[in-house]
Structure 1
Amino acid sequence: MWKFSGQIEYECLNCGHVEIVDMDFFECDCVGSQERQMGPENIYELSYRIDCNNCGSEININFTAYEYPVQSLNYVEPEVTGASTSDKPYLEHLPDLYEVQQFELARASAKEIILEVQNNPALIRNIDSRQFEEVVAELFRDKGYEVELTKRTRDGGKDIIAISKDHFGIRLKYFIECKYYGESNKVGVDVVRSLHGVKNTKDGPNKTIVATTSSFTADAVSFVEKEASSSWDISLADYDQIMEWIGSYGLTN
């Protein structure tokens, strides 16, 4: 078993403030794979967004990492805005015990993950971003929604389409975007504004929801409170809300 590890030291381009972030706080997605002579080449996107702790400027640190051959980091391509850094992640091989625990969790169904997290909330930090999407989809399914988990894309957007029916049989459509972030990596206003923008498009939803294992920046909260046309248009579900949903999973209404 392995994971991306290391610490990234970055300097804000606006004020020169220097911070260090651990790779554990980066969102990691496998965005592609292709067969080559020595097996598959897997492509990962690692992303971290934060507002500078000194001046508040937005900083985005992204890496595209190429694993080839398997368990070998062949190439890492950085893309950083708002800051500068010369650091890159590396692959760390983990102890056998951790490998067994993660092996089982990696193959668990969304329902099994939810039940485990009910007993041990810390496990929510040991799944991956796709499993988080599956967990959120299952939480809505448990409440009676028709749920569709969308295909993975590199350009973001809705991850889940959820359909409910009111007492008159009228269908209501929800678009849900999931952000599996570390505790200190808050979801910014750009994510919220982008999802909200699809509401009035053709085949758009009645409501949009951003769900995260982290929290939201002040600008993101302000956008919902002041710029969205109504509180019905968009909702923000942070870590506490997700854990509340998980806690009520399986309970009869």
Structure 2
Amino acid sequence: MWKFSGSIQYTCTTCGDGAEIPVDDFHIECIGGSERSMGSENIYEITYEFDCPKCNRPISLAFEASEYPVEFLNFVLNNSTGAQTDDEPVFEFLREIYSAKDVFQLYESISELVSALKGNPCLLRDISSREFEEVVAEIFRAKGFIVDLTKKTRDGGKDIIAVYTDGLGIRSKYFIECKHYAEDNKVGVDIVRALHGVMNTKDGPNKTILATTSTFTSGAKEFVENEAASKWDMALADYNEIVRWLDDYQES
């Protein structure tokens, strides 16, 4: 599926008046195509017809785009009449997603996957536990962290080790535990307490984070608030917080 965006600046060839029309206001239609050696060719018409506000002469802003092969823009023709244009519509191909299975079949890299989940965060609950860990790791990587996913078993209270070096060259280590739970399966205090316990190990982190696709029990929240050595030691990230992380994600 193609997304057409941007704006078209036009100048009337009769009176010289001009303005800018958002592509969102254009009529867009796939008018067919033909079978060729590398598959189907699809032709799209992008049109906006109106009378010049100053001289009332008819203007047709019209573009024809060819998709061939599928997912590749072949050419764009400017068929406008009554006006000169300086721009073309911006074209972006969007893969249609209906399930988590579609996500992993259609996207070849973890960065593409995270970008797709930004628009479909509910699919976070449909992916696997390991895939959730990969998503969280990519979010931290894009923020400048050096990340390392631990092995799937015997991870010692951490799924992800994330190290950040600030502008002064000071390094901070984060241990991130990921719990891919159903919406009604809250993370309890025992898991939170166990993760916090790694703070005192020889090669422990400066901070621990527990990320989940569900939420936390009141006991888990109270532990971080009242029993942890410092409120800065540990952070709890529930489903809503993960969605905010996705919204803020920018591929680097």
Q: Distance in 2 between matches of 1:101 and 1:220?
A: 29
User: 2:103·2:113 contact (CA, 8 Å) conserved in 1?
Assistant: no
Q: State the distance in 2 between where 1:115 and 1:103 align.
A: 14
The residue number in structure 1 matching 2:245 is 245
Deviations 1:107-162 (A, max 9, x none): 74322221111112222122110000000000000000010011110576200000
CA distance in 2, matches of 1:225, 1:100: 37
Is residue 138 from structure 1 mapped to residue 106 from structure 2 by the alignment?
no
The within-5 A match list for 1:60-79 is none
* Alpha-carbon separation, structure 2, partners of 1:229 and 1:213: 26
Paired residue for 2:30? Answer: none
| DSSP-derived class of the 1:246 partner | helix
Query: Which stretch has the larger CA shift, 100-109 or 231-240?
Result: 100-109
1:190 aligned onto 2:190: yes
Corresponding residue number in structure 2 for 1:176: 176
Structure 1 CA distance for aligned equivalents of residues 166 and 155 of structure 2: 32
Letter in 1 for 2:210: V
Three-state SS of the structure 1 residue aligned to 2:182 is coil
Deviation at 1:99, TM superposition (A): 11
SS of residue in 1 equivalent to 2:200: coil
TM-superposition CA deviations, 1:27-58 (whole Å, max 9, x none)? xxxxxxxxxxxxxxxxxxxxxxxxxxxxxxxx
TM-score, normalised on structure 2? Answer: 0.57
Q: Answer with 1 or 2: which has the greater Rg.
A: 2
Contact 1:110-1:131 within 8 A present in 2 as well: no
**Aligned twin of 1:105:** 104
SS at match of 2:176: strand
Spell out the pairing of 1:194-205 with structure 2 (5 A cutoff).
Answer: 194-205=194-205
Aligned to 1:94: none
1:101 positional shift: 6.5
Q: What is the alpha-carbon distance in structure 2 between the residues aligned to residue 149 and residue 114 of structure 1?
A: 16
> Secondary structure, in 3 states, of the residue corresponding to 1:194?
helix
* Cα pair distance change 1:218/1:105, threshold 3 Å: same
Once residues 185 and 125 of structure 1 are traced to their aligned partners in structure 2, the CA distance between those partners, rounded to angstroms, is 12
Q: Percent identity?
A: 59
Cross-structure match for 1:119: 119
Checking the alignment, whether the CA contact within 8 Å between 2:111 and 2:251 is kept in structure 1 is no
After alignment, is 139-148 or 99-108 more displaced? 99-108
Name which structure has the greater RCO, CA cutoff 8 Å, separation 6+. Answer: 1
**What CA distance in whole angstroms lies between the structure 1 residues aligned with 2:180 and 2:136?**
11
The number of aligned residues is 155
Name the aligned partner's letter for residue 152 of structure 2: R
Secondary structure of residue in 2 paired with 1:158: coil
Which one-letter code corresponds to 2:247 in the other structure?
A: G
Change (3 A) 1:197 1:171: same
Name structure 2 gaps, 5 residues minimum: 1-96
Give, as a single letter, the amino acid of the residue that structure 2 aligns with 1:157.
G
Aligned letter for 1:124? L
Query: Is 1:226 equivalent to 2:229 in the alignment?
Result: no
The 8 Å contact of residues 196 and 208 in structure 1, kept in 2 or not, is answered as yes
Task: Give SS of 2:161's match.
Answer: strand
CA contact under 8 A between 1:106 and 1:127: conserved in structure 2? no
**Do the aligned partners of 1:216 and 1:238 also contact (CA within 8 Å) in 2?**
yes
User: Post-superposition shift, 1:103?
Assistant: 5.9
Distance 1:201 1:158 in 2: 13
**1:81 corresponding residue in structure 2:** none
Counterparts of 2:179 and 2:197, CA distance in 1: 17
Structure 1 runs of 4+ aligned residues shifted over 3 Å read 98-101, 106-109
| Cα shift at 1:104 | 5.2
